[in-house]
Structure 1
Amino acid sequence: MDVNMQEYFKNFYLFLKEKEFCDVNLVTDEGLQIAAHKIILASASCVFYTMFNGQFRERNKNKILIKGMDFETLESIVNFAYTFKLDVKQNNFEKLLMAAEMYDISGIRELCFKYIKENINPTNCVSIMKITELIQLNKEINSFCWAYFLNNFTMIVNSALEAELYGFPIEDVLKMIKHDDLVIDSEEKVFDFIIGWISYNTNERKHMFLDLMKCIRLPLISIKGLKRICNEPLLSNNKDFMMDMLKEMNNTKPLNTQRRIPASNIIVAINGPIPGEDSCVKYMDIKNCDDLKWKSSDQLFFIPLRFLTTMVLSENGIILAVGGLDESGNHVNLVEELDLKSKSKQWISTRPLIQPRKDFSVCTHKQYVYVVGGTDFSSVNLSSSVEYYDINSKVWTEIIEPMPTARAYSGSTIFHNKLYVFGGYYGDFLATVEYYDFEKKHWKQLDPMPICNYNICISRIENVIYLVGGRRAPKRVFKFDLQHYKWFEMPNMNMDTFGDCSSVVIMKNDLFVFVNDGGTVHCERYDKEERQWKSVDSAGKQTYKFCNMITFNDIALKSYGIYL
C-alpha cells in the first residue's frame, strides 16, 4: 500500500473512532452497537456488499442486527475492515473463523489460518480439526489440519484429551486408519487406537469392532504383536473372525501388503555449502510414478552452515547438522538444529559433541540422535564410543559401555530397542556386526557381514536392513533379516553408492535407491519380476565434494508448512 493510500485509510479509521460520516449501525444480540461506514464494510466483505447493494431490506436501513456474534468479535471485524490488522489468539480464533466464513472475509480467514499453522500442536490438534470441519472452511485449511494429524498421530494419541480424541464419528475413524499417509512405526498403534475408541463408549461401538479390525494391515505386525492382538477379549470371543483373519494372513506375505506411504516419498538432495560454489537443493517425489524426475527447489534453508557436516532428521521434525569444517578448514565438533516446525526455518547452535570426532555414523530413534564411532580430528585414534542427543532436553549423553570394536565409517540403525552397527574401518576393513541392547545395557556380537566393507548406505524398512554399496563393493546390495539374523544378496546396481549421500525407500512395494554423488543425483528402482535394477533419473553435475540426502513424507512437509 503506497503512502497516500495509507493516509486515506488512517483517515477512515479516525472517522470510525470519531463516528463521523457513519451511515450504518451494527447491532449485536445483546443490543450493543458499532457505528461504521457501509462503503468500508462492503469493500471488506462481499456479504456486506450484497446486503447494502442488493434487493435486501438492509439496503435502506441504518441499523442492522448481526446475529450470533458477540460485541468483541464484531468490533475486531469492523476494525480489520479499516486497518487490515487483527489480534488472533487462542480464545478468539474460533469466533473469528466463524465470522470470516459467515461474512466471507478472506483476509481474516488467512490470518486465522496463519495462526493455526503457527500454533497447532499435538494437544490442540483434534479440537482445531473439529472447529475447522464444523465451520466447513476451505479445503486448504482442512487438508493442513488432516496432514498434521496424520503426521503426528502417535504424539496426538498420547497428548489429546480422551473426550476429543475418541469423540470422532466412525466415518472419521475409518478415514484415519485406512489412510496410506498415517505415520506410525507399527500397525499395532492402529489397533491400540481402535481399542481406545471402542472402550470410550463400548455399548454403542462394540458392534463396529470387526469392521475397524479389517483396516489393520496384519501381515506387517510382528508375531509378538499378533499374540497381543489375539488376546484382546473383543477379538478372542469372536472365533469365526479370528479364523478368517489368520487364513488371510497365512495367504498374504508382508512384502505383498501395501505399506503406509510415510516410509518417505520425498527425497531431498542438499548440495553445499561449498566455498566458491553455488549451493542447491533438488528433490524427487516417488508417489507420482508418472513423474519420477529430479526437480530444483528454492527452499535453501535446508543447506547447513558448514562444509562436510553430517545431517540427520529426527522423528519430531528437527534436523541436526553434526561436525564438519569451519571457515578455516578445521574440523569442529559443533552442532546446529533446524526445526522444520518453526516460523524462521533457521539453523540454531546447540550443545557440541562430548567427544570431538569425524567419520562417524548417525541414526535416530524417537527424540534421540545417535553418533557412533569415528576418529579424532587427527585421523589417528579410532573411537569406540557412542553418544546420543536428546532433542527435547538439548543434552548429549555418552553410552557407558563402549563398542567392542572401535571403528570409523560404519553404518548404524535402531530396531526394537537395539542399536545395530555394521562394518567400518579399523586399520583394515571390517565385516563385524554388533548391537547394543538398551534394556540390558550391553553389547553383543553377531555373525559377520558377507564381505568386509565401509561407508555403506544403510536403511531400515521395518524388520529388514538394506546395506547398499560402500567403498569396497559400490554396486552390491545386501538384505539383513532382523528377526532371523539372516543375510540375502540382491542383484548388483548400475551406479556406485556410498554412505550418507544415499538413501533407500520403498514405495508401493517398489524398492528405490537414491544417490547424491558430489552434486549429481541419481535414482534406481528394483524390478522384482526381472530381478534387476533400472535407472529412473539423474540430474546435475559433479562439482561438490560432499553432499547430504534426507527423506521425508510429503504429509510431514505440509504439516511443517513446507512446499517444495
Structure 2
Amino acid sequence: MSREQMREKQRDKEKVMSVRDRMAQFQSSASKSANPGEKRKVGRRSSNDATPTLSNKKEGRTFGSVASASQPPPSKAITPPVVPSRDSKLHTYEVPSYCDSLFTELCRLRRDGLLVDCNLHLPDNSYKVHRLVLTAVSQTAEVWLRSGQRGLNEVNLSELEGGDLVTPSGLQALLDFAYYGEMGLAYASGNGLEEVLQVCRCLGAERLAQVCRTGTPAHADREKEKSLQMFRNLWERHVGCDVTLQAESGELFPAHRVVLAAGGDYFRALLCGGLRESGEEVVCLRGVAAWVLQDLLRFVYSGRLRLGWSNVWDLAEAAVQFQLQGALSLCLSFLQEDMDCETCLDTLALAEAYGLDELGRAAEDYTLAHFQSVSEGEKFRDLPCPLLQRLLERDSLCTDSELKVFNAVICWVEEDQGQRLPYLPRLLQKVRFPLMSPAELKEVKDCNLLTRSRELRTVLETVNNLLQGEQRQVECKPRSANQVLVLVGGDSVDEDFARREPNQCLWFAKRFLRGPGLIRTVEWKPLAQLPEPPRFRHCVCVLNNKLYILGGRKYYGALDILKSTLRFDPVQCVWECLPDMTCPRDYFAAVCVRGKVFVLGGNLDDRTCLDSVEYYTPEDNTWRLAQPLDTPLCGHAAAVMDGKIFVSGGCDSRLRCLSSLWLYDPSTGCSKLAPMATGAGRAGHVMLVLGGRLVVAGGLQPLWVGFGDQLQCEAYDPDQNSWTLLSLLPRPHLSPAATSLDGQLYVLGGSSADTACDTPWVHRYDPRQGCWDKLGAMPRPYADLAACTLQLPISLRG
C-alpha cells in the first residue's frame, strides 16, 4: 500500500461515526426503503446512563476460546442499540494469550527495524532494541527512562561500569530474555553463565541474574507477564511515553509507540507506515470518546477489558476501528454469551453493521430460537422489512404455532400501517398457513388487513381454501426447530416374555441426554394413543405437519393385514379416519411428494407381493391408482429427492432379495439406475435423503443358506449414478424405523435376522463425522415400527 493510500485510509478512519450513529443512520435508510417517510425511534444513551448487570459473572473471568472476527468496511446495520433494563456493574474479561501475542509482535517490530530507539554498542557489534522492552528487564535502562534523559539512542556499553567485560553472547542472552522471556541452553553453565551474569551486573538485570543463580530455566510466559506489568506501570506513571493520543473531546492520553504498534494493525500502520502521524507527538483520533480510548489503552497494556451492557457497543465499534482483535474478540464473546431476548436484535444490528459473520449467525440463531419472546418486544417492531422477511423464511424459526408468526407480522405492519402495508403480501408469503389448525385459520380470516388490497385478498382466498379442505399446493415444510422424533406403532415381546403384542402408543423423544463417559439415554414421552386396531409393519408419512398412518397389520394372521388409513393432527391432537387404500398392504413403502401420499408395493396376504402403486390427494379425500412398479415387491424402501421418487431393494414374490434401484414416475413407471454395491441384495432396510444423497441402512442380505443381517451402509449419488460405502451400523436393524432430523439420520429398533432378537437401540449417523452414535434405547425393543418428525406445540414438548 502506497503512502498516499495510507493517508487516504487514515482520513477515512477519522471520519468514522460512532456505532450508534452509524446503525441509526442505516436504520433510517432501511426504513425509507421498507417504510418510506417513517421516523425511527432511536434509543441512544450516554456513557453515564444506567448500565446492565452481569448475572452469574465473576471478576477476572477468562474467555477460553474467543470468537473470530474480520474487519471489513462497515456495512448495513439493522437497529441501533438501546439501553437494556439492567444494572451498571462491569466485569473484567481477559484474553489468555494476549501477552504472548504482544511479545510476538514486539519481536517482529525489532526484526523489521521498526520503532527501535536504542543502539547498544560493543567494540565489534551493535544491537538495535526497543528501549521500553529493555527497560522491563534492566534497572539501568529504567533509570535512563525515568530520568527523561535524551540522547541515549546510542549507548556504548564499554563506557558503563563493567561494560568492558560484556560479551556479544552475554548481551544476546539478555535480549533474548527481554523479548522471549527465556535464554538459550547454551548459556546455562560454565563460561556462558558467567557471561550472562556479567551483562546482568552491567545493566542491572536482576530478574535474569536470579534465573542464572537458581539454575532453574526461566518460565517464558511468566517472565513476559512481568515485563508487560512493567510496561503498564510505566504507562500509568507516564514514564517514557513518546506519543500522545487525543480523544474527540480533547483529552490527552500519553502512550508508548512500540506498545501501540504491537497491540494492533491500525496503530502499526499509523505509527510505522510513513504517515504524517508517525512523526507527530500528538495524534488526534476523531470519533472516539475519551473513556473508550482510555479503556482500549488499558487493554493494550494488559489484555483485559471491563465489560457490561453499558459500554460493550462503543468498545466493540472502537475495537473494529482500531483493529484490536483481542479486544474485539472479548466484546463479541460477551455479546454472544450474554445474549437474551432484549439484546439479540441489537447484537444482530452490530454484526450486520461491521460484517461480523460469526456473531451475526449467533444473534440470528438466538432470535429464531426465541422468536415468540423476541417478537413481543418493542425492538422487533423496528426491524427493517428485508431482515424480517429473512427471519420468517427460516426453517429453524421456533414458535408454538404458525399463528404466532402471522400475528408477529401483523403487529410489525400495524406499527406504521401507512408505510408498511404494501410489504404485507411479501411477508405473508413466508407464513406457512397449511401448518395452522382450522381454528387458527379462522382467526387469520378475521384479520381486517387482509381485505385492504388485491394481493392481500389472494392470501385470504388461500386461507379460505385451506379451511374448506381445498388445498392446491405442494406440501408445506414444518419449521425444523420445532420438530421432534416420533415413534409410531410396532410390536414387542410382552413383559412376561410369553408372546408378542402390538404397540398402540406414539412416543416422542423429548431430550437426548449424555451421561458419564459414553453413556447416553433418550427421554421419551407419550404423545398419543393409536385408535384401534394397533399397527406394525405399517408406513407413515408427514404432509403439512399431519401424520398419515397407512396399512400394516393388527395381528399375525394372513387376514390381519390392513388397508385402513388414519391422519393425526399433532397441534389439535385429533385423529381422523380416511378412505381405505384399494388393497391391504404391509412391508410396503410410502412417500409424500407434490402434495400427495404415495404407497408402493407391499405384501398382500403372506403369499403375494404387490406391484401396484396408489396415491391419496387430500384435496378430494380420494385414492387413485398410478403406474405400477416393474416387479412386485415387499420389504423395499422409497424416498423422495428433488421431487423424484426412488425405490430400492426388497424381495420379489419368489423371495429373491434384490439390489436394484429404480427411479419411479407416477405417469411412466420405473427406470433402472445403478444397483446397490453391497452384497447380493437388500430388504427390510431404510432409505433417506441426507446431504443430497440417498442413504440406505439396515435390513438383511441373502447368504448361501437363508438370510443374514446387513450392517454395511451405502449412499447413492444421483449426479454420478454410483454408490459409495459408509460406516457400518454398530448393531443389526431389520425392518427398523428411520427418519432424518437436523441433517442427521436416525435408525431405531427393528430386529436381527441372525438372532431373531429385537433391537432396542437408537443409532444416529452424522454425515459430518461419517460415523454412527448410539444414543440410547427406545421405551421398549420395538420391531416393525415406523418413525417420523413432527412439529409439536411447545406446550406438548415441555
* Fold equivalence (TM over 0.5): yes
Q: 1:13 to 1:243 in 2, by over 3 A?
A: closer
Conservation of the 8 A alpha-carbon contact between 2:246 and 2:285 = yes
Could you tell me which residue of structure 2 aligns to residue 199 of structure 1?
414
In structure 2, the CA distance between the partners of 1:20 and 1:211, relative to structure 1 (3 Å rule), is same
C-alpha deviation, 1:204, in angstroms: 1.4
Q: Distance in 1 between matches of 2:422 and 2:772?
A: 57
CA contact (8 A) 1:263 1:505 kept: no
Alignment correspondent of 2:534 = 450
Distance in structure 2 (CA, Å) of the matches to 1:151 and 1:60: 52
Q: Which residue of 2 aligns with 1:32?
A: 251
CA contact (8 A) 2:739 2:746 kept: yes
Q: How much has 1:504 moved relative to structure 2?
A: 4.1
Structure 1 residues 200 and 540 mapped into 2: Cα distance closer, same or farther (>3 Å)?
Answer: closer
Contact preservation (8 Å) 1:519, 1:541:
no
Q: Counterpart amino acid of 1:234?
A: L
State whether structure 2 residue 262 is matched by structure 1 residue 43. Answer: yes
Tell me which structure has the larger Cα radius of gyration: 2
In the alignment, structure 1 residue 65 sits paired with structure 2 residue 307: no
Q: Which amino acid aligns with 2:748?
A: V
* Code of the aligned partner of 2:568: D
| Of 133, 141, 144, the match for 2:359 | 141
- Report the 3-state secondary structure (helix = DSSP H, G, I; strand = E; otherwise coil) of the residue aligned with 1:481: strand
Shift, 1:311, TM fit: 3.9
Q: Are the structure 2 counterparts of residues 200 and 213 from structure 1 closer, same or farther at C-alpha, using a change threshold of 3 Å? A: same
1:462 paired to 2:550: no
CA 1:130/1:173 → structure 2, altered by over 3 Å: closer, same or farther? same
Amino acid at match of 1:481: F
Partner residue of 1:15 out of 223, 234, 251 = 234
Cα distance in 2 for residues equivalent to 1:68 and 1:53 = 22
- For structure 2, the residue ranges without an aligned partner over 5 or more in a row are 1-99, 101-220, 487-511, 557-561, 581-585, 590-634, 636-683, 686-697, 700-731, 750-758, 780-787, 791-798
Q: Is 1:304 equivalent to 2:515 in the alignment?
A: yes
Count residues with an aligned counterpart: 368
Contact 1:265–1:505 (8 Å) recurs in 2: no
In structure 1, the partner of 2:475 is 256
SS at match of 1:91: coil
Relative distance call for 1:472 and 1:102 in structure 2 (3 A) is farther
User: How far apart, in 2, do the equivalents of 1:102 and 1:467 lie?
Assistant: 62
CA RMSD across the alignment: 4.6
Change in Cα spacing, 1:19 to 1:76, as seen in structure 2 (3 Å) is same
- Does 2:703 correspond to 1:485? no
Match of 1:358 in 2: none
8 A contact 1:521–1:540 mirrored in 2:
yes
Distance 1:467 1:11 in 2: 77
Q: Specify the alignment match of 2:375 in structure 1.
A: 157
Distance 1:266 1:48 in 2: 54
Q: Secondary structure at the match of 1:485?
A: strand
| SS of residue matched to 2:360 | helix
What is the identity, as a one-letter code, of the residue corresponding to 1:38? R
- Runs of 5+ in structure 1 lacking a partner? 268-300, 313-361, 364-411, 414-419, 423-432, 434-446, 525-536, 554-564
Secondary structure at the counterpart of residue 142 of structure 1: helix
**Given the two structures, how large is their TM-score scaled by the length of structure 1?**
0.55
Cα distance in 2 for partners of 1:515, 1:540 equals: 12
Q: 1:104 offset after TM fit, Å? A: 0.8
Partners of 2:337 and 2:550 lie apart in 1 by: 39
Deviation of the 1:507 alpha carbon: 7.8
**Aligned to 1:219, which of 430, 434, 437?**
434
Q: In the TM superposition, what is the alpha-carbon distance from 1:243 to its structure 2 partner?
A: 4.5
Which secondary structure does the structure 1 equivalent of 2:286 belong to? coil
Look up the match of 1:514. 747
CA contact (8 A) 2:513 2:520 kept: no
Q: Helix, strand or coil: the match of 1:25?
A: strand
Decide whether aligned partners of structure 1 residues 461 and 110 sit closer, same or farther in structure 2, where only a CA change above 3 A counts.
farther
* Cα drift, residue 310 of structure 1: 5.0
Residues 63-118 of structure 1 show CA distances to partners (whole Å, capped at 9, x for unaligned) of 11122222221111111111111111111100110111111111011111111122
**Deviation string, structure 1 residues 466-502 (Cα, Å, up to 9, x no partner):** 79999999xx99864234433788646535899xx97
- 81, 90, 94: which is aligned to 2:309? 90
Alignment equivalent of 2:398, drawn from 178, 183, 200:
183
Contact 1:265 1:552 in 2 (8 A): yes
Kindly state the Cα deviation for residue 219 of structure 1 after the two structures are TM-superposed: 2.3
Q: Is the 8 A contact 1:44 1:105 kept in 2?
A: yes
Query: What is the alpha-carbon distance in structure 1 between the residues aligned to residue 470 and residue 222 of structure 2?
Result: 73
1:237-294 Cα offsets, whole Å, 9 max, x none, are 4466434653586775676223333355999xxxxxxxxxxxxxxxxxxxxxxxxxxx
> One-letter code of the match for 2:532?
P
- Return closer, same or farther for 1:458/1:8 CA change in 2, 3 Å cut-off: farther
**Deviations along 1:507-536, whole A, 9 cap, x unmatched?**
89xx96532767783679xxxxxxxxxxxx
Match of 2:298 among 60, 79, 102: 79
> What is the CA-CA distance between 1:50 and the residue it aligns to?
0.7
CA distance in 2, matches of 1:507, 1:37: 52
Does the aligned pair in 2 maintain the 1:34–1:75 contact within 8 Å? Answer: yes
1:171 equivalent to 2:386? Answer: yes
C-alpha change, 1:507 and 1:30, in structure 2 (3 Å) is closer
Q: Deviations over 1:22-69 (max 9, x none)?
A: 111111122222111111111111111111112321111111112222
Pair 76,243 (structure 1): closer, same or farther in 2 beyond 3 Å: closer
8 Å CA contact retained: 1:521, 1:539? no
